[in-house]
Amino acid sequence: MKASIITAVLNGAKEIDRTLDSVACQDYRNLEHIIADGGSEDATVEISCARNGGAARVISSPDSGVYDAFNKGLRAATGDVVAYLNCGDCYISPSIVSRVMHVMTTYNVDAVFGDVQIVERGKRSRVVRRYSSKRFSPRAMSYGLMPAHPTLFLRRKVYEAVGEFDANYRIAGDFEFCVRAFVCRSTSFHYIAEPLVRMPTGGLSNQGWRSKWEITREMMRACRRNGISTNWAKLCLRFPIKMLELI
């Protein structure tokens, strides 16, 4: 099977090389890397085109945010399996894609995911949290628990069945998509109980209590839209669980 890795980026010249190198060194050969750039005004596009012999395919045009960029990359992807690795994120080892594809074939599932190491942005050797996907189940989505999206590999047929990301969401579009994929469709999955991706602090959902409030509000909207029974108390129970992940 062919795998497509999509990287959404806007003005990421300082970090895009980490992600480009991480994908380029994967030992799974039937692999394409698509850079979905939102019209960067720095050197992101130039770096992406030149790095690793220009192996990555770059699509650069204005978009309305990260989920619009995800969709832009998805439409360009030609793989049987699709994953997203954002700018600055990198795979833990060169064998991650090979292992995931092997697991997907061996267990005959439509989705494979694992955990994420969240590291200090200025000192990447220091792990501050392990975002674990072990508590995920379709039922757990009513508590705001979802697979670690940077580790999620999905067969293309899942996107064909449930559609693209909803670009009207600013911060929880991946959650809303997973509701459609795992609750509304009952996508089969396998969890790899170890970190697959290393991600620096400072992402959209990790910018203080204001972002936590906004993502919770969007999760509530996503659940109501898709007929998932939940409430504010249930969604906020995920915060104590996340505190236990701190290292």
Give the CATH number, domain containing residue 8. 3.90.550.10
Number of domains present in the structure of the chain: 1
pTM: 0.94
Question: Residue 179 has which token pair?
Answer: 């509701």
**Predicted local distance difference test score (pLDDT) of residue 209:** 73
Non-local (6+) Cβ contacts of 230 within 8 A are 142, 143, 219, 220, 223
Closest CA to 22 of 55, 68, 45, 60: 55
Question: Residue 191 has which token pair?
Answer: 């969890």
pLDDT under 50: residue ranges of the chain = none
| Separation of alpha carbons 110 and 82, rounded Å | 11
**Predicted local distance difference test score (pLDDT) of residue 35:** 98
Establish how many alpha carbons lie within 13 A of residue 67's alpha carbon, considering only the half-sphere containing its beta carbon. Answer: 17
| Separation of alpha carbons 116 and 51, rounded Å | 25
Q: Return the bridge partners of 191, or none.
A: 113
Stated length of the chain: 247
**Predicted local distance difference test score (pLDDT) of residue 179:** 98
- Residue 230: domain span: 3-243
37: alpha, beta or left, given left = phi > 0 and alpha = psi -120 to 50?
beta
